[in-house]
C-alpha cells in the first residue's frame, strides 16, 4: 500500500473553490469561505497527526483585493475568527503559526490577531503552520532581490543564488508537495521559488469538501512519484 505519511514534508495548499461551492448551492460566497474554515481545521489536525513538518495555506492573495469590498471584509473577519479559535489548539499540539505576505495593507484588527497568534505559539516545535495573507510570490521574490542588490559590498555570483534561496525559504525549506483544490491547474503566484521542484497535485474537490482522506490520497500520489531534481532516473531501462 502506498505510503501516506507526511513525515518531514513541506506541504502547501491553494485552498480554492469556496465561492463556487457556495454559489452552486445558492448561498452567498462568504458562506463558502466560512465552510472553508472547517476544511482548514481538518487538514491542520491531519497534518499534525501524520508528521508533516510545514504546512503552508494560501488564504488571501494580493490579487484578492480586487474582489468586492464586502467579500474581502468577510474573509478578513473569518481569518480573525480562525486565528482566535486555532491558537489554543495549536499551542496544545506544540505547533507554531506564522503569517507570510505583506502586513502594511492589512486591517489593524487582522494584524493584531496575527501577531497575537504568532506570539502565543512562538515556542512550538511541532508542525509549522504558515498562513499566506496578502501574499504574492512575485512580490516576495522582488523584495528579496532588492535587499540583495542593496548590499555593500555586493554578493559574488556564487553566493547570490543560495543567499536568495535562504531569504525566501528560511528554515521552512522548499515545498515538497503542492496541492490545489477546486479544479484549476495553475499556481496563481503562490510559492513560485519554493515550488521549483515540488510535486503538483490538482483535484476537482472544492476546498470546503476537502477532507483528511483527500490529503492522504495526495500523499499517496506523492509517494508513487520519482523525484529526480533534474537527474537521471534510478530505474534500469532495458535497451532492445
Instruction: Provide the whole-model pTM.
Output: 0.91
172 is a catalytic site residue: no
The pLDDT tens digits for 126-175 are 999 999 999 999 999 999 998 888 887 888 878 888 888 888 887 789 99
* pLDDT, tens only, 20-40: 999 999 999 999 999 999 999
158 catalytic residue (yes or no)? no
Q: At what angle do helices 157-169 and 137-149 cross, to 10 degrees?
A: 140
Whether omega for the bond prior to residue 153 falls within 30 degrees of 0, making it cis, is: yes
Beta strand pairing call for 199-202 and 177-180: parallel
Per DSSP, the residues of 147-206 read HHHT-SSPPPHHHHHHHHHHHHHGGG---SEEEE-SS----TTSSTTTTTT-EEEE-SS-
Could you say which of 3, 64, 139, 146 is catalytic?
A: 64
User: Catalytic: which of 3, 16, 63, 189?
Assistant: 16
Q: Is the pLDDT of residue 235 over 60?
A: no
Q: Is 22 exposed, middle or buried (0-12, 13-18, 19+ CB in 10 A)?
A: buried
What topology does CATH give the domain 10-224? Undecaprenyl pyrophosphate synthetase (3.40.1180)
Cell of 184: 484549476
SS3 212: helix
Amino acid at each position: 500500500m502506498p505510503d501516506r505519511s507526511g513525515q518531514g514534508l513541506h506541504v502547501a495548499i491553494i485552498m480554492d473553490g469556496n465561492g463556487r461551492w457556495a454559489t452552486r448551492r445558492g448561498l452567498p460566497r462568504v458562506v463558502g469561505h466560512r465552510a472553508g474554515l472547517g476544511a482548514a481545521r481538518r487538514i491542520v489536525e491531519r497534518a499534525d497527526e501524520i508528521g508533516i513538518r510545514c504546512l503552508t495555506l494560501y488564504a488571501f492573495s494580493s490579487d484578492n483585493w480586487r474582489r468586492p469590498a464586502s467579500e474581502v471584509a468577510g474573509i478578513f473577519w473569518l481569518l480573525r475568527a480562525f486565528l482566535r479559535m486555532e491558537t489554543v489548539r495549536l499551542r496544545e499540539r506544540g505547533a507554531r503559526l506564522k503569517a507570510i505576505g505583506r502586513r502594511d495593507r492589512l486591517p489593524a484588527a487582522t494584524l493584531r490577531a496575527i501577531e497575537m497568534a504568532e506570539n502565543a505559539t512562538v515556542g512550538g516545535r511541532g508542525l509549522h503552520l504558515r498562513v499566506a495573507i496578502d501574499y504574492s510570490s512575485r512580490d516576495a521574490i522582488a523584495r528579496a532581490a532588492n535587499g540583495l542588490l542593496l548590499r555593500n559590498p555586493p554578493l559574488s555570483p556564487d553566493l547570490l543564488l543560495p543567499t536568495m534561496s535562504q531569504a525566501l525559504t528560511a528554515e521552512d525549506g522548499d515545498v515538497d508537495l503542492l496541492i490545489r483544490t477546486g479544479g484549476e491547474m495553475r499556481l496563481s503566484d503562490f510559492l513560485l521559488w519554493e515550488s521549483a521542484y515540488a510535486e503538483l497535485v490538482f483535484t476537482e474537490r472544492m476546498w470546503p469538501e476537502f477532507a483528511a482522506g483527500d490529503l492522504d490520497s495526495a500523499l499517496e500520489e506523492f509517494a508513487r512519484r520519482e523525484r529526480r531534481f533534474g537527474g537521471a532516473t534510478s530505474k534500469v531501462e532495458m535497451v532492445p
